[in-house]
Structure 1
Amino acid sequence: MEHINWLALVVAALIPLATGFVWYGPLFGKAWMKESGMTMEKAKQMNPVKTYGLCVVFAFILAFYLNIEVFTGGAPPDDLHGTPAFMTFKHGLLHGAFLPVFTILPAFATNALFEQKSFKYVAINVGYWILTAGLMGGLINAWV
């Protein structure tokens, strides 16, 4: 792959921590805790090094895939992704946001149906990934 900005991938892998802090904190924290069945007592049992460390590793894997997603495709020979017309935050945001809509939403919603979780639970979690992956894709695509 010719378009790998490793620094952009590392920074993009930190985006889920920042968006998660806001999304699952002041924005939807109370609703998410209620819908997921999480309690403060249970949250305090988390091993932060393990949890946040693995979250960054998983986010880096997602960032690596998003890099492929935003730089591959287009209509040859003139409209190939990776050319200046497509090297924008907006283009990466679109690819990043579409990925969870077409992958995470169906998988997560299917699991939630069997777990008998609410629509609100699905909306909060999938909404987080649409925003987060969109921002990751935008950063990766614009930071060339």
Structure 2
Amino acid sequence: MQFAGLSYFAIVAAAVVSFMFGWLWYGVLFPKQWMAAVGKTDDDIKAAGGPSPMPFVIAFIAQLVMAWVLAGIIGHLGPGEVTLKNAIISAALVWAGFIATTLAVNHTFQGAKRALTLIDGGHWLGVLLLQGAVIGLLGV
């Protein structure tokens, strides 16, 4: 199914893959480091009644939007230019120009620990590279 030349399948697949990457990144690879960087403990989460599902819903919707926009950007490369290589390069440039810079500014003004910026920045780099790879492989 296509909308304005964009593949819903590629967009949803990119969002699902990147959402699962978030589970791996924050839930398996760096859970303790992330909790320390945001200044929370397991007891804080338990005292709040456990993790709320709302952040996960918002994260998935945001990743759908992100995949849709990235597909649009990649699609603007032109006919025959939607390749794995070009999609990954585009994703990396989007991360460097918009995500990394935004995180650096916001976290600096918020007084967040540098570790939080590195953990979150690594996550969003992985998200965009995976989305770019899926879109590059499946097409826009």
Q: What is the TM-score normalised by the length of structure 2?
A: 0.85
Listed as ranges, the gaps of 5+ residues in structure 2 are: none
Query: Which residue number in structure 1 is paired with residue 62 of structure 2?
Result: 58
- In structure 2, the partner of 1:30 is 32
| Residues 1:67 and 2:71 aligned together | yes
Q: Across the two proteins, how many residue pairs are aligned to each other?
A: 134
Amino acid paired to 1:70: I
Over aligned residue pairs, what C-alpha RMSD do you find?
A: 1.8
Residues 25-104 of structure 1: matches in 2 within 5 Å? 25-44=27-46, 45-48=50-53, 50-72=54-76, 81-84=77-80, 86-104=81-99
Query: Which consecutive unaligned segments of at least 5 residues does structure 1 have?
Result: 73-80
Instruction: Quote how far apart the aligned CAs of 1:2 are.
Output: 4.8
% same residue: 25
Whichever residue aligns with residue 83 of structure 2, its letter is T
1:60-100 Cα distance to aligned partner (Å, 9 max, x none): 1111100111111xxxxxxxx2422x222222111112212
Runs of 4+ with deviation above 6 angstroms? none
Going from structure 1 to structure 2, the CA distance change for 1:10 and 1:119 (only over 3 Å counts) comes to same
Check 1:42–1:9 CA distance in 2 against 1; reply closer, same or farther (3 A cut).
farther
Higher relative contact order (CA 8 A, sep 6+): 2
> TM-score, length-normalised on structure 1?
0.82
